[in-house]
């Protein structure tokens, strides 16, 4: 190996990173001795940032672009190294490339049920799960707080911590939302915004942002869901007697359409489902019929009597009979009762005319 080959191997002319793993968040540009030639080219592509670390201290951060590594492009490094304007020597520094693109379809879910108080069902246990996307919003802070000296940092290494923060806040939001369980599906978007707003300050301290957060499902325990399904089915069925009759008729129709395949079984099932129906088979014993109740007593009419422009009453038939005896009620008296068309003379009403036919004749004249 010639001296020129040796020197070219010691110095770096182009610094760049191309990644096809889709889960690498930070990658360290490896070079033995970390020697970088003054004036070397640094290429930072879209969706990346380059972070220089000098002797354990965070130095310059480069956003997408093409740079010549000189004193005017590295103010922090220049200050740390006390470089003068004419500096031309190689320097040592660690270079970390940070992916600032979104890392999508990260899953979260509650490990244990969340205890909530529902206004309709009372205390309930809820589970929730969903997905979120994240990206590095502050590469320098992300390096300081999370990555450290890790030469290749992947999304899986931070997902667990973010999921714990999300689940804690989801539990608090759901428990304090006061939204009925049956209405939560219609409010997942609003609940998601509340969770995102709550976790943003904590996530920002790591140099990370959550641009998208989704609550995909909020569910009850399986036993409670089964009971809820039965309650829903009862509401759909409605009148159980009519449903039983319909089920029995359907079973009989099915059995008739398949005479060779279980006619007896189909008929038996229809009879079992339609026990409340009266049928020609008479298989189910019927309870004895209750004795017929006597008819209601006839309603006695009461009558109003008009005389001298005034109305009196109402009077029962018995009262009018006594009035007929003492002469205050006669065949020509005008009477009216409910349902009668206008006033009529007492003699025109069969029921009252009888009062005058049973009266004794006038007393005989006194003896001479």
Averaged pLDDT for residues 39-64: 89
Cis, bond preceding 310 (omega within 30 deg of 0):
no
Averaged pLDDT for residues 13-42: 84
Averaged pLDDT for residues 75-87: 64
Q: What is the pLDDT of residue 1?
A: 41
Q: Please tell me the distance from the alpha carbon of residue 125 to that of residue 117, in angstroms, as a whole number.
A: 9
Contact yes or no for 65/154 (Cβ under 8 A): no
Distance, CA of 123 to chain centre? 16
Q: H/E element holding 104?
A: strand 103-109
Higher pLDDT, 238 or 345: 345
For each of the domains in the chain, give its residue range(s) and CATH number, in order of start.
Answer: 3-99 (no CATH), 103-220 (3.30.479.30), 303-357 (3.30.1490)
Q: Please tell me the distance from the alpha carbon of residue 315 to that of residue 301, in angstroms, as a whole number.
A: 9
Q: What is the pLDDT of residue 280?
A: 46
Contact yes or no for 106/203 (Cβ under 8 A): no
Tens digit of pLDDT for each residue in 192-220?
999 999 999 999 999 999 999 999 999 88
Higher pLDDT, 355 or 118: 118
Helix, coil or strand: residue 348: helix
Q: What is the pLDDT of residue 332?
A: 83
Q: What is the pLDDT of residue 165?
A: 93
Q: Is the pLDDT reported for residue 51 higher than 60?
A: yes
Q: Is the pLDDT reported for residue 309 higher than 70?
A: yes
Q: 110-148 b/e with 16+ CB inside 10 Å = b?
A: beeebebebeeeeebebbbbbebbbbbbbbbbbbeebbe
Q: Is the pLDDT reported for residue 128 higher than 90?
A: yes
Enter the pTM of the model. Answer: 0.57
* DSSP for 137-201, written as a single string: S-HHHHIIIIITT-SEEETHHHHHHHHHHHHHHHHHHHHHS---GGGGGGGHHHHHHHHHHHHHH
List Cβ neighbours of 324 (8 Å cut-off, separation of 6 or more).
330, 355, 356, 359
Residue 52, burial from CB neighbour count under 10 angstroms (0-12, 13-18, 19+): buried
Q: Is the pLDDT reported for residue 281 higher than 50?
A: no
Tens digit of pLDDT for each residue in 155-194?
999 999 999 999 999 999 998 888 888 888 889 999 999 9
Residue 32 per-residue DSSP state: G
Q: What is the pLDDT of residue 121?
A: 81
Tens digit of pLDDT for each residue in 7-21?
444 455 788 999 888
Tens digit of pLDDT for each residue in 96-119?
999 999 999 999 999 888 988 888
Q: What is the pLDDT of residue 239?
A: 62
Q: What is the pLDDT of residue 12?
A: 55
Nearest Cα to Cα of residue 91 among 47, 59, 139: 59
In percent, how much of the chain has pLDDT > 90? 29
Q: Please tell me the distance from the alpha carbon of residue 365 to that of residue 20, in angstroms, as a whole number.
A: 139
Q: What is the pLDDT of residue 272?
A: 53
Contact yes or no for 97/26 (Cβ under 8 A): yes
Higher pLDDT, 298 or 321: 321
Q: What is the pLDDT of residue 307?
A: 81
Mean pLDDT of the chain: 79
* DSSP for 106-142, written as a single string: EEEE-SSPEEEEETTTEEEEEEEEEEEEEEES-HHHH
Q: What is the pLDDT of residue 209?
A: 95
Q: What is the pLDDT of residue 32?
A: 67
Contact yes or no for 44/64 (Cβ under 8 A): yes
Q: H/E element holding 203?
A: helix 188-204
Q: Between β-strands 41-44 and 14-15, what pairing exists: parallel, antiparallel or unpaired?
A: parallel
Q: What is the pLDDT of residue 8?
A: 45
Least confident of 47-56, 133-142, 249-258: 249-258
């Amino acid at each position: 190996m010639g001296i020129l080959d040796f020197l070219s191997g010691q110095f770096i002319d182009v610094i760049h990173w191309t990644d096809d793993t889709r889960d690498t968040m930070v990658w360290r540009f490896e070079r033995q001795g970390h020697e970088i030639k003054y004036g070397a080219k640094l290429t930072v592509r879209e969706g990346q940032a380059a972070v220089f670390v000098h002797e354990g201290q965070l130095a310059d951060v480069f956003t997408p672009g093409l740079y010549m590594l000189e004193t005017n492009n590295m103010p922090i490094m220049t200050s740390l190294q006390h470089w003068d304007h004419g500096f031309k020597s190689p320097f040592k520094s660690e270079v970390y490339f940070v992916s600032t693109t979104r890392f999508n379809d990260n899953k979260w879910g509650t490990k244990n049920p969340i205890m909530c108080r529902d206004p309709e069902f009372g205390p309930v246990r809820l589970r929730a799960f969903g997905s979120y996307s994240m990206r590095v919003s502050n590469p320098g802070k992300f390096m300081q707080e999370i990555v450290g000296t890790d030469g290749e940092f992947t999304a899986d290494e931070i997902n667990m911590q973010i999921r714990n923060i999300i689940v804690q806040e989801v539990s608090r939001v759901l428990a304090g939302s006061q939204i009925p369980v049956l209405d939560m599906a219609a409010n997942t978007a609003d609940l998601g915004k509340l969770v995102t707003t709550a976790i943003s300050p904590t996530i920002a301290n790591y140099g990370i942002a959550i641009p998208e957060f989704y609550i995909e499902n909020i569910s009850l325990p399986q036993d409670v869901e089964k009971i809820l399904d039965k309650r829903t089915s009862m509401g759909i069925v409605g009148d159980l007697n009519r449903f039983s009759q319909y089920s029995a008729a359907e079973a009989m129709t099915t059995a008739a359409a398949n005479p060779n395949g279980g006619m007896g079984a189909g008929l038996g099932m229809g009879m079992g489902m339609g026990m409340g129906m009266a049928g020609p088979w008479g298989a189910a014993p019927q309870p004895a019929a209750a004795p017929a109740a006597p008819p209601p007593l006839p309603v006695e009419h009461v009558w109003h009597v008009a005389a001298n422009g005034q109305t009196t009453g109402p009077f029962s038939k018995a009262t009018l009979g006594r009035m007929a005896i003492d002469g205050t009620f006669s065949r020509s008296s005008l009477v009216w009762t409910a349902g009668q068309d206008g006033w009529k003379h007492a003699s025109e009403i069969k029921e009252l005319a009888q009062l005058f036919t049973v009266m004794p004749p006038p007393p005989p004249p006194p003896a001479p």
